Amino acid sequence: MLTYIGRHTLAFCDSCGRYIIFLYNVFINGLRPPYYWKQMMCQLMDVGFCSLPVIGLTSIFTGAVLALQSYTGFSRFSAESALPMLVVLCITRELGPVIAGLMFAGRVGATMAAEIGTMKVMEQIDALSTLSTCCYRFLYWPRILAGLLTLPLLVFICDIIGVFGGFLVSVYQLDFNAVQYIKMTVQFLQAEDIISGLIKAAFFGLSTALTGCFQGACSLGGAAGVGHATRNTVVMSSITIFFLNYLLTTIIFSK
Amino acid sequence: MLSVRNLHVTLGNRQILKGVDFDLKDGESLVILGCSGTGKSVLLKSILGLIPKQYGKIVVDGIDIDQVHKDERSKILSSIGMLFQGGALFDSLPVWENVAFGLIYGRGMKLQDAKEIAIDKLTLVDLDKQIALLYPPALSGGMLKRVGLARALASMPRIIFFDEPTTGLDPITSNIVNDLIVKYVKHSDLGAITITHDLTCLRKIADTVAFLFDGKIIWTGSIQGMDCTENPYVRQFIDAIPIGPLTTKKHLK
Ligand SMILES: Nc1ncnc2c1ncn2[C@@H]1O[C@H](COP(=O)(O)OP(=O)(O)OP(=O)(O)O)[C@@H](O)[C@H]1O
Ligand SMILES: [Mg+2]
């Protein structure tokens, strides 16, 4: 038992150490030229634009369900009129970033880990450095930058789609007045609500991309290793998202 | 041009290399022999800095690569080309871009110029122009090896490492690959280190033979020397005898 705990503690410290070294190398190398613009554009396209359908669909349903559920709750003490406000606040402050972040972890983080892990076990990352190309600049930096930049954008679009989902349900299913609904939504929304969501999203995107690249780069031994890396990425980045969400909410609230 | 002294490498908790020493002279073709799993690939990778070494000295053209700055070191190491055991081509890039990779991304050459050089190199290894537009998963094993060879040659290395260039190829294709290696190594001042289990290949391309066993180079000599050596390990290997000092119980474990 004691050896078990000891071994796992050591392994944990070991991977923390390697993660920190990885972080250091990514930023030290990534910030220096040469910059691979083509790779960055490809990643922005792949990570950002191509995630839009998945994330958009999740958020429209989230908005719709949120409206339905809260209507049931509110109608118990005849506070239905607060529904638009609740929907927009929930989506922008909380559900938008978290749900988009989780979908992002599943789609983008897993892709990154599998792709980089396969390159690693096929010796392609070794080949990169014999061809005088730094893997941090060429492989990891474009992906990490794409994660950092695109998730806030995605979340912004998601916020709009999610609120729209709530709007559709409220107007066509719950017989709200459309103009009234929009008025209520805009009236209660503050810039701070949206910005706090976007800040969260930037952290989620960064941590997901970093985890994906790190896990991929550490994968060992064939298909099983890549499978491990992919699974670890999804699990770890989802947990990180919930943890960061709590942490950032605390910080933003305490201001 | 390359000397390795007392190289030790440990992976996990196993010591793979226990003090490897050898020299590679200008234009020399050195072949390293050894049983599977003795750490031949590890040796090449640790020279290139892809696997960290425990200690040991690596000197390229008189410069100890541990004594110089990181950028300088990667510049020195970029004069070494490598053909990987599995080819290690980038699946997402077409063949020509694979060949031109070092030129485009390593040296910042223009795409069009690099493409011309790449197609040039592909013809040198007897590959058709049409192949340049295919992707690596669509190629056969022999083609992959040749593309890997073209890629290693494209960046004009001064030393080149071949990790099992002919393993898994039919006799004719492997002969073609051997001839290509002879063409580029023996008839130029390129230094080469080749790992192979293929004795035909060995006889064709080797100037010097080194035998790696139990983490050390235990024998070095010419091909003639190898044929008449009394060294029991080398004898067992070239005569392919199942029972002998290479395969005693201790090392099977
Ligand atoms: N990344 C690694 N981590 C741990 N052990 C490794 C690693 N790479 C190789 N090894 C171990 O090092 C030993 C030598 O491996 P290496 O690939 O150098 O063998 P080899 O001599 O090239 O064999 P072959 O002729 O089959 O290619 C093997 O026993 C292998 O288990
Ligand atoms: Mg090998």
**CB-CB contact of B184 with B196 (8 Å):** no
A13 CB burial (10 A radius; 0-12, 13-18, 19+):
exposed
Element housing A118 (H / E): helix A110-121
Q: Does the beta carbon of B11 lie inside 6 Å of ligand 1?
A: yes
CB B152 within 8 A of CB B81: yes
Domain assignment of residue A58, yes or no = yes
For residue B68, count other CB atoms closer than 10 A to its CB: 14
Taking the alpha carbons of B209, B211, B212, B217 in that order, is the dihedral positive or negative? negative
Q: Which two tokens stand for residue B66?
A: 């541990």
Is residue B253 lining ligand 1, measured as CB closer than 6 Å?
Answer: no
Domain that holds residue A151: 37-250
pLDDT at B252: 45
Residue A255 domain flag: no
Given strand B63-64, what is the order of strands in its sheet?
B14-24, B2-11, B55-60, B63-64
Contact A126 B106 (CB under 8 A): no
Cβ–Cβ below 8 Å for A131 and B155: yes
Roughly how many angstroms between the first and final C-alpha of chain A, as a whole number?
A: 45
Residue-level length of chain A: 255
Could you name the CATH architecture of B2-79+158-252? Answer: 3-Layer(aba) Sandwich (3.40)
Contacts of A132 in chain B (CB under 8 A): 74, 78, 102, 106-107, 155
pLDDT at residue A63 in the model: 93
Q: Do the Cβ atoms of B64 and B57 come closer than 8 Å?
A: yes
Residue A109 lies in a domain: yes
Mean pLDDT, to the nearest integer, of A16-36?
Answer: 91
Chain A positions in Cβ-Cβ contact with residue B91 (cut-off 8 Å): 124
φ, ψ for residue A86, nearest 5 deg? -60, -45
Shortest-distance ligand to the CA of residue B35 = 1
Bridging pattern class, strands B29-33 and B208-213: parallel
**pLDDT by residue (tens digit) across A51-85?**
999 999 999 999 999 999 999 888 888 888 888 88
Prediction ipTM score: 0.85
Q: Do A131 and B48 touch (CB under 8 A)?
A: no
Q: Of A119, A122, A132, which has the smallest distance from its Cβ to B106's Cβ?
A: A132
How many distinct structural domains can be found in chain A?
Answer: 1
Task: Please list every residue in chain A whose beta carbon sits closer than 8 Å to the beta carbon of residue B84.
Answer: 123, 126-127
Best residue in A111, A131, A139 for a mutation probing chain B (most B CBs within 10 Å): A131
pLDDT for B253 equals 41
Tens digit of pLDDT at every position of chain B (253 positions): 899 999 999 988 889 999 999 999 888 899 999 888 899 999 999 999 899 988 899 999 888 988 888 888 888 888 899 999 888 899 989 999 999 999 998 888 898 999 999 998 898 888 888 888 999 999 888 888 889 989 988 888 889 999 988 887 888 888 888 888 888 877 778 889 999 988 888 888 888 999 998 889 999 999 898 888 888 888 888 888 888 888 774 544 4
H-type helices in chain B, by residue range? Answer: 40-47, 70-77, 95-101, 111-124, 141-154, 171-181, 199-205, 223-227, 232-239, 249-252
Judging contacts by C-beta atoms under 8 Å, the chain B residues touching residue A131 are 78, 101-102, 105-106, 151, 155
Q: Are strands B55-60 and B63-64 parallel, antiparallel or unpaired?
A: antiparallel
Ligand 1 atom 14 nearest Cα: B39
Neighbouring-strand partners of residue B217: B212
Q: How far is it, in rounded angstroms, from Cα A247 to Cα A239? A: 12
What confidence score (pLDDT) does residue B143 get?
Answer: 87
For the stretch B249-252, contacts whose Cβ atoms lie closer than 8 Å and that sit 24 or more positions apart, written own/partner, are B251/B214
Picking from B81, B84, B106, the nearest residue to A133 by CB comes out as B106
For B237, the token pair is 């290997």
Does the pLDDT of residue A143 top 60, yes or no?
A: yes
Protein residue with its CA nearest to atom 30 in ligand 1: B37
d(CA A208, CA A168) in angstroms, rounded, equals 32
Domain ranges for chain B, please list them: 2-79+158-252, 88-156
B159 and chain A in contact, CB less than 8 A: no
Give, in order, the Cα–Cα distances in Å from A132 to each of A84, A103, B82, B101, B145.
56, 35, 12, 9, 20
Q: What pLDDT sits at residue B250?
A: 52
Give how far the C-alpha of residue A239 lies from the chain's centroid of Cα atoms, to the nearest Å.
11
Q: Which residues on chain B are in Cβ contact (under 8 Å) with A34?
A: 105, 108
In a domain, A90, yes or no: yes
Cα of A220 from ligand 1 centre, angstroms: 12
Residues 6+ apart with CB under 8 A from B252: none
- Please report, in angstroms and rounded to a whole number, the separation of the first and last CA atoms in chain B: 37
> Is the CB of B42 within 6 Å of ligand 1?
yes
Q: Is B40 in the pocket of ligand 1 (CB under 6 A)?
A: yes
Distance from CA of A234 to the nearest CA of B (A): 24
- Answer whether B35 contacts ligand 1 (Cβ < 6 A): no
Residue A35 is given by DSSP the state: P
